[in-house]
A and B are shown apart, each in its own frame.
Chain A
């Protein structure tokens, strides 16, 4: 599998669209001053990822990506941003730690270069196709995924139910107003109003 394989025009167009959405959104998250704009950039990235999932014939995951991420997680982010009232602009010209940004850039570039170099050393070859858990492909893989989740991964699937219950209880306990906190909550409400 070489880097410059011949690809059909529709595939190329969808890939470029998805990649452009992802990268623009990702840069938007780290470069915008306002957290609300960052959350909206995150939606753009997640949508781009969903487009790429469709290109990879993972239709179910593309739908779940939109519903769970764009529909639930980003809305939760926006709720918290609004609730805390931190939607103020942040001054990005201040660099709090000396040489933080150049060092971060060097580290991240080294990370990305090593991953890409490893890929090229291995010529992006993967092993032989799966025999035991094959994908039938072509839009019919929702059934494959469902079968895998309810047979091979049944225990993990049941464990996620427990995980979600624990997460919900944990969030309620963390964000609850406890009795001795009443004063500070009243202060918070005054500040927010």
Chain B
């Protein structure tokens, strides 16, 4: 018998939690970005798990589109990081506080 869905859901939850924790505690913009990718992957894992359980191709098609959107997001996000670094010489989120009160 193959691995039950519950194991994949719990693993995806753990990965999502680690990613969310990383976004909350790290200050380097690039590392926060990597943690966002980690959360996306956790969601992908859950989607493929449900897709297998329901024997439905919709979950896998959604993961395919998530991959495309993630690629586009990384390209634009890293472009923004480079543009900010050009102006501010910093990739630390806490130092980008001009709009803060």
Contacts and interface: CB of A to CB of B under 8 A. Distances in A.
Contact of B17 (A53, A83, A111): A111
Q: How large is the interface on A (under 10, 10 to 19, 20 to 34, 35 or more residues)?
A: 35 or more
Contact of B81 (A1, A84, A157): A84
Given A124-B4, A135-B56, A45 B10 contact: no
Interface residues of B, number: 74
Interface string A28-56: 01100001001100100110010011011
B17 A129 contact: no
A112 B11 CA distance: 10
Given A73-B70, A108-B17, A145-B61, A134 B56 contact: yes
Given A35-B31, A52-B45, A145-B61, 5 more contacts: A6-B1, A68-B71, A130-B56, A133-B56, A149-B64
Interface of A: 1-3, 5-8, 11-12, 15, 19, 22-23, 26-27, 29-30, 35, 38-39, 42, 45-46, 49, 52-53, 55-58, 60-61, 64-65, 68-69, 72-73, 76-77, 80-81, 83-84, 86, 90, 96, 100-101, 104-105, 107-109, 111-112, 115-116, 119, 124, 126-127, 129-130, 133-135, 137, 141, 144-145, 147-149, 152-153, 156-157, 160, 163-164, 166-168, 170-175, 181, 184-185, 188, 191
